[in-house]
Amino acid sequence: MTEKPFSMIGVPIDCLGFGGPLQAVERMPESLRRADLAKRLDAKDLGDLEVRIGKGVRDAQTGLISLDDCRATTRTMRAETVRLLRGGLRPFFVGGCCSMVPGITAGLRDVHGQAALVYVDGHMDLYDGETSWQGEMADMPLGIVLGPARLRRSARIWAGYRG
Protein backbone atom coordinates (compact mmCIF):
# COMPACT_ATOMS: atom_id res chain seq x y z
CA MET A 1 0.00 0.00 0.00
CA THR A 2 1.39 3.38 -0.98
CA GLU A 3 1.19 6.16 1.60
CA LYS A 4 -0.47 9.41 0.60
CA PRO A 5 1.95 12.31 0.31
CA PHE A 6 1.94 14.91 3.04
CA SER A 7 0.17 18.23 2.68
CA MET A 8 2.24 20.78 4.62
CA ILE A 9 0.41 23.60 6.40
CA GLY A 10 2.16 26.40 8.30
CA VAL A 11 0.89 27.51 11.70
CA PRO A 12 2.62 30.84 12.46
CA ILE A 13 1.65 31.28 16.13
CA ASP A 14 3.36 32.15 19.39
CA CYS A 15 1.20 31.73 22.47
CA LEU A 16 2.94 34.58 24.27
CA GLY A 17 0.91 36.95 22.15
CA PHE A 18 3.42 39.74 21.64
CA GLY A 19 1.45 41.41 18.86
CA GLY A 20 3.27 43.51 16.28
CA PRO A 21 5.84 42.00 13.89
CA LEU A 22 6.17 38.23 13.73
CA GLN A 23 8.31 36.80 16.51
CA ALA A 24 10.84 33.97 16.12
CA VAL A 25 8.43 31.14 16.92
CA GLU A 26 5.85 32.58 14.51
CA ARG A 27 8.48 32.46 11.77
CA MET A 28 9.06 28.72 12.10
CA PRO A 29 6.91 27.74 9.08
CA GLU A 30 8.80 30.28 6.96
CA SER A 31 12.16 28.95 8.20
CA LEU A 32 11.17 25.36 7.46
CA ARG A 33 10.16 26.37 3.95
CA ARG A 34 13.53 28.02 3.39
CA ALA A 35 15.12 24.74 4.50
CA ASP A 36 13.12 22.99 1.74
CA LEU A 37 11.11 20.85 4.16
CA ALA A 38 8.21 20.41 1.74
CA LYS A 39 10.56 19.23 -1.00
CA ARG A 40 12.40 16.88 1.37
CA LEU A 41 9.08 15.34 2.43
CA ASP A 42 7.73 15.35 -1.12
CA ALA A 43 4.85 17.35 0.34
CA LYS A 44 2.53 19.84 -1.27
CA ASP A 45 2.86 23.19 0.51
CA LEU A 46 -0.62 24.55 1.25
CA GLY A 47 0.67 27.79 2.77
CA ASP A 48 -0.06 29.19 6.22
CA LEU A 49 -3.28 29.20 8.17
CA GLU A 50 -4.66 32.62 9.00
CA VAL A 51 -4.10 32.30 12.74
CA ARG A 52 -2.41 34.58 15.23
CA ILE A 53 -2.32 34.87 18.98
CA GLY A 54 -2.14 38.59 19.61
CA LYS A 55 -1.03 40.55 22.60
CA GLY A 56 -3.24 39.80 25.53
CA VAL A 57 -3.58 39.69 29.25
CA ARG A 58 -3.96 36.70 31.50
CA ASP A 59 -7.62 35.77 31.90
CA ALA A 60 -8.60 35.83 35.58
CA GLN A 61 -10.99 32.87 35.31
CA THR A 62 -8.94 30.45 33.16
CA GLY A 63 -5.40 31.68 33.84
CA LEU A 64 -4.66 31.72 30.09
CA ILE A 65 -3.01 34.56 28.18
CA SER A 66 -4.98 35.76 25.12
CA LEU A 67 -7.89 33.41 25.82
CA ASP A 68 -10.05 34.49 22.87
CA ASP A 69 -7.20 34.13 20.36
CA CYS A 70 -6.22 30.74 21.80
CA ARG A 71 -9.80 29.52 21.47
CA ALA A 72 -10.07 30.84 17.91
CA THR A 73 -6.74 29.23 16.94
CA THR A 74 -7.80 25.90 18.45
CA ARG A 75 -11.12 26.01 16.57
CA THR A 76 -9.33 26.85 13.31
CA MET A 77 -6.80 24.04 13.80
CA ARG A 78 -9.58 21.57 14.53
CA ALA A 79 -11.67 22.61 11.53
CA GLU A 80 -8.67 22.58 9.18
CA THR A 81 -7.60 19.12 10.38
CA VAL A 82 -11.11 17.79 9.75
CA ARG A 83 -11.36 19.49 6.34
CA LEU A 84 -8.03 18.11 5.16
CA LEU A 85 -8.61 14.57 6.43
CA ARG A 86 -12.12 14.38 5.01
CA GLY A 87 -10.74 15.73 1.74
CA GLY A 88 -8.45 12.70 1.57
CA LEU A 89 -5.28 14.61 2.42
CA ARG A 90 -2.54 13.74 4.90
CA PRO A 91 -1.89 16.96 6.86
CA PHE A 92 1.54 17.81 8.21
CA PHE A 93 1.30 20.96 10.32
CA VAL A 94 4.52 22.90 10.89
CA GLY A 95 5.16 25.59 13.45
CA GLY A 96 7.13 26.35 16.54
CA CYS A 97 4.42 26.60 19.19
CA CYS A 98 2.87 23.63 20.96
CA SER A 99 -0.42 25.52 21.17
CA MET A 100 -1.49 23.91 17.89
CA VAL A 101 -1.70 20.42 19.46
CA PRO A 102 -5.18 20.55 21.08
CA GLY A 103 -6.93 21.63 17.87
CA ILE A 104 -5.14 19.05 15.72
CA THR A 105 -5.85 16.28 18.23
CA ALA A 106 -9.54 17.26 18.42
CA GLY A 107 -9.77 17.21 14.61
CA LEU A 108 -8.16 13.77 14.46
CA ARG A 109 -10.69 12.47 16.99
CA ASP A 110 -13.57 14.06 15.05
CA VAL A 111 -12.59 12.11 11.94
CA HIS A 112 -11.11 8.90 13.32
CA GLY A 113 -12.81 8.54 16.70
CA GLN A 114 -9.51 8.14 18.52
CA ALA A 115 -6.06 9.58 18.14
CA ALA A 116 -2.60 8.55 19.25
CA LEU A 117 0.06 11.11 19.97
CA VAL A 118 3.83 10.92 20.09
CA TYR A 119 4.89 14.09 21.87
CA VAL A 120 8.53 15.13 22.04
CA ASP A 121 9.23 18.30 24.00
CA GLY A 122 11.72 19.56 26.53
CA HIS A 123 8.94 20.58 28.89
CA MET A 124 6.11 18.81 30.64
CA ASP A 125 3.28 20.79 28.96
CA LEU A 126 0.79 19.33 31.44
CA TYR A 127 0.10 22.53 33.31
CA ASP A 128 -3.27 24.22 33.51
CA GLY A 129 -4.26 27.83 34.06
CA GLU A 130 -3.71 27.50 37.79
CA THR A 131 -0.34 25.74 37.75
CA SER A 132 1.29 27.54 34.80
CA TRP A 133 3.58 30.30 36.00
CA GLN A 134 3.07 32.46 32.92
CA GLY A 135 -0.34 31.40 31.58
CA GLU A 136 0.97 30.46 28.13
CA MET A 137 -1.05 27.92 26.20
CA ALA A 138 2.25 26.22 25.32
CA ASP A 139 2.49 25.21 28.99
CA MET A 140 -0.78 23.32 28.67
CA PRO A 141 -1.33 21.40 25.41
CA LEU A 142 -1.05 17.94 26.93
CA GLY A 143 -3.03 19.05 29.96
CA ILE A 144 -5.79 20.21 27.60
CA VAL A 145 -5.69 17.07 25.43
CA LEU A 146 -5.62 14.66 28.38
CA GLY A 147 -8.07 16.60 30.54
CA PRO A 148 -7.91 17.31 34.25
CA ALA A 149 -5.77 14.86 36.17
CA ARG A 150 -8.29 14.89 38.99
CA LEU A 151 -5.41 14.79 41.44
CA ARG A 152 -4.78 17.31 44.15
CA ARG A 153 -1.73 19.43 43.41
CA SER A 154 -0.01 17.92 46.48
CA ALA A 155 -0.52 14.44 44.99
CA ARG A 156 1.30 15.19 41.72
CA ILE A 157 4.97 14.44 41.23
CA TRP A 158 6.82 15.07 37.96
CA ALA A 159 10.22 13.55 37.30
CA GLY A 160 12.71 14.21 34.53
CA TYR A 161 11.29 17.33 32.94
CA ARG A 162 13.32 20.52 32.50
CA GLY A 163 10.96 23.28 33.48
Q: pLDDT tens, 45-100?
A: 999 999 998 878 899 999 999 999 999 999 999 999 999 999 999 999 999 899 99
pLDDT at 159: 61
In a domain, 135, yes or no: no
Query: What is the arithmetic mean of pLDDT over 15-42?
Result: 86
| 6-10 and 90-94 beta bridge pairing | parallel
In a domain, 148, yes or no: no
Residue 163: CB atoms within 10 Å: 7
Where does the pLDDT of residue 127 fall: very low under 50, low under 70, confident under 90, or very high at 90 and above?
A: confident
pLDDT at 157: 57
Q: Are 78 and 105 in contact (CB under 8 A)?
A: no
pLDDT at 18 over 70: no
Domain containing 94 equals 6-115
CATH number of the domain where residue 90 is located: 3.40.800.10
In a domain, 126, yes or no: no
Number of structural domains (the chain) is: 1
Query: What is the arithmetic mean of pLDDT over 128-140?
Result: 90
How far, in Å, are 30, 45, 49, 114, 148 from residue 128 at the CA level? 30, 34, 26, 23, 8
The half-sphere exposure of 51 on its side-chain side, counting CA atoms within 13 A, is 34
In a domain, 145, yes or no: no
Where does the pLDDT of residue 162 fall: very low under 50, low under 70, confident under 90, or very high at 90 and above?
A: low
In a domain, 143, yes or no: no
In a domain, 105, yes or no: yes
- Hey, what amino acid is at 131? T
In a domain, 146, yes or no: no
In a domain, 78, yes or no: yes
Show the CA angle centred on residue 162, arms to residues 74 and 10, nearest 5°: 30
CB proximity list for 63: less than 8 A, separation 6 or greater:
128, 129, 130, 132, 135
